[in-house]
Structure 1
Amino acid sequence: MASSSRWIRPEVFPLFAAVGIAVGICGMQLVRNITTNPEVRVTKQNRIAGVLDNHAEGERYAEHGLRKYVRSRAPQIMPSINKYFSDPNIPK
């Protein structure tokens, strides 16, 4: 009996996928904060500058593309299904 069949079962693959996606999202957020957050200073030259009152850079960080995209959308998860079940004019 192989040891991999004992430890890796098909039932745990969704768990591996969920944990992998969560780790990926955390890694993406970490990279985003290190590279674009105006309050994070990695290089010595930027740390010497101290606290900067650069509101434009902070606004650009806070108002990223995903937030701009979601702001113009309806706050629903599945709008077509919601409309189908709530609109009385749609024949069922």
Structure 2
Amino acid sequence: MTKVVTTIKEMQNIVKSYHRQGQTIGFVPTMGALHEGHLKMMRMSVEDNDVTVISVFVNPLQFGPNEDFDAYPRQIDQEWRDVRYLYNYNDEELSDL
């Protein structure tokens, strides 16, 4: 089952825990609108690593004034087979960095 992580601190703690155990972590960044290229990267990561993390981050700065940022598909409710963690960035937390 995939666990959804929403804070930087929680993701850092998870990564540290796996590194202490000597495990490898694959990371596949996405904007949420998945296509076959993402799926291929996920399969490769699952095959090549002990743990796979998928991120979903839709950067509002990539959208112009007439583009619908809120309507961009993010697909975070999907069950991610063989993916251990889905890192769904918290926009407010990122803006504080």
TM superposition score category, shorter chain reference: under 0.3
Greater fraction helix: 1
Query: TM-score of the superposition, structure 2-length normalised?
Result: 0.21
Rg larger for? 1
The one of the two structures with greater contact order (alpha-carbon pairs below 8 A, sep at least 6) is 2
